[in-house]
Amino acid sequence: MRVPILSFAAALLVAAVAGAGVFPYQYEVHRLDNGLRVILIPMPSQGLLAYYSVVRTGSRDEVEPGHSGFAHFFEHMMFRGTKKVPGAVYDQLMTGMGANANAYTTDDYTCFHLNVAASDLPRVIELEADRFQNLDYAVADFQTESGAVYGEYRKGRTSPFEVLDEAMRDRAFDVHTYKHTVIGFEKDVAAMPTMYDYSKSFFARFYRPENVVIVVAGDLDPAKTLALITQAYGGWKPGYVAPKVEPEPLHDGERHAEVKYEGRTLPIVAVAWHGVRFDAQAKDAAVGTLLANLAFGETSEAYRQLVLEQHTVQRLIAGFDFNRDPGLWTVVAMVSEEKDIPAVKAAIDQAVARLQSAPPDGKQLDDLKRRARYQFLMDMDTPDNVAGGLAPFVAMTGGIEAVDQYFATLDGLSPQDVQDAARRLLTPQVRTVAILKGVQK
């Protein structure tokens, strides 16, 4: 039986009902015999759909020394095609369909996504199933693409924020693979053209059906779509073995990094705490968003003081993001003048101290919760936004049930929960402080 489709307005109304979940559409979840998970989300979309292939492998999974950067490398390499459909032919077919095909890599996953007309879905499934099972490339193609990745690394060095991120991670972690950025350590990326055989083993280990989730959202018939996916992917052989990612040991004190940027830039102050792994039912995971907004958001005392009144900071950004393992909860301030660095650092400390000294205002906390829920719902308006918004949850948990669980946990947080979390998690013991300054040659 086909799942009934709600209009977007009706979906929002349903989601707003007391006790209802936040995710506004009905959906189906299937698991093929080989372990491939398929999530189908029919929704009104005027003949359009989004097709996402979420590979639950990111830079986190690069556990072998000397081989960082390969998750990101395959974001590129997957567009090289197969013997049946070479990369140039794949590109021509996508262009002919008017499809938008792209990909991105994070610490925790690699995501391949397409926006297409619903009428082209059978062809898209055929093409995606082929390249995920039969990717083929010669040594020369591998060397060309790995050289291009090193060029991307070098280009990234022109951004002071990327230089800072690289240095911050390297200082904040000793053993966990979050120590390197998504693109990898420079020495590993530079050596990548010599690692053709390793690249083949990486693909064979991680691009397996048990490690992939397909999300299809839009104008679709679930039964027909599932039948097409089963036919195209059913022969994909399982064989995924999760890598043994070594946990980061507890640190024994605050760490510091002085970062030099070869070029002109305003100084940047970054403070990062080791956060917690994502667990949709854990208070400490849900509280991160609230801590970031209360301490450093646009309505916070720190933002008003540093950005709006004193103008000592040009940009103040807090990212207390989700990760499969404890990552970094980071606040970054681009400082107007070098002489203001100590005052900015002190203001960041004071913002944290305010959260630790007293619970936040209950109304302000409720407003932040409603804003988070509302923003999530308003982003559920197109197939691409739906599939894209779900991708992080899918990558971290393997499904989308975590969406409603997370927002239920968020809604249940009290002012005292926030204060307790600030005291427990935002401590100097787990903190790294980095200061970047430009260096003129």
| Tens digits of residue pLDDT in 22-74 | 999 999 999 999 999 999 999 999 999 999 999 999 999 999 999 999 999 99
Q: What is the DSSP letter of 295?
A: H
Task: Clarify whether residues 261 and 323 are in a common domain.
Answer: yes
Query: How many angstroms separate the CA atoms of 273 and 276, rounded?
Result: 10
Burial class (CB in 10 A: 0-12, 13-18, 19+), 117: middle
The verdict on 213 and 309 lying in the same domain is no
Let me know whether 213 and 342 are in one domain: no
Residue 215 pLDDT exceeds 60: yes
Residue 4 reports pLDDT greater than 80: no
Q: Length of the chain, please? A: 441
- Domain match, 289 and 181 both: no
By residue range, what is the domain housing residue 273?
255-359+414-439
Question: Is the residue at 266 inside a domain?
Answer: yes
Mean pLDDT of the chain: 94
| 174 shares a domain with 106 | yes
How much is the pLDDT for 440? 75
Residue 2 has pLDDT above 90, yes or no: no
* pLDDT given at position 65: 96
Q: What is the pLDDT of residues 263-292, one digit of tens each?
A: 999 999 999 999 999 999 999 999 999 999
For the sheet with 37-42, list strands across it: 28-31, 37-42, 212-218, 48-55, 110-117, 100-105
Q: Pick from 272, 270, 257, 268: which is nearest to 335 by CA?
A: 268
- Domain membership of residue 247 (yes or no) is no
Q: Do 209 and 307 belong together in one domain?
A: no
DSSP for residue 123: H
**Statement to judge: residues 165 and 96 lie in one domain:** yes
Q: Kindly tell me if the per-residue pLDDT of 7 is higher than 60.
A: no
In a domain, 320, yes or no: yes
364 within domain boundaries = no
Residue 17 has pLDDT above 50, yes or no: no
Give the 3-state secondary structure of residue 86.
strand
Rounded Cα distance, 149 and 416, in Å: 47
Give the pLDDT band (50/70/90) at residue 441: low
How many separate domains does the chain show? 2
Residue 409, helix vs strand vs coil: helix
Residues 307 and 181 in one domain: no
Band of residue 5 on the pLDDT scale cut at 50, 70, 90: very low
Q: What is the pLDDT of residue 230?
A: 98
Determine, yes or no, domain membership for 239: no
Is there a single domain that holds both residue 181 and residue 262?
A: no
Q: If you search the block for the tokens 């979420």, which residue do you land on?
A: 54
Query: Do 200 and 263 reside in the same domain of the chain?
Result: no
Of 233, 268, 294, the last residue of a domain is 233
Same domain, 159 and 295: no
Residue 291 is assigned to a structural domain of this protein: yes
- Indicate if 213 and 77 belong to the same structural domain: yes
Task: Tell me the residue type at 221.
Answer: D
Task: Report the alpha-carbon distance of residue 402 to residue 28 in Å, rounded.
Answer: 15
Which CATH number does the domain housing residue 47 bear? 3.30.830.10
pLDDT at 21: 80
Determine what percent of the chain falls in helix, strand and coil, rounding each to the nearest 5: 50, 20, 30
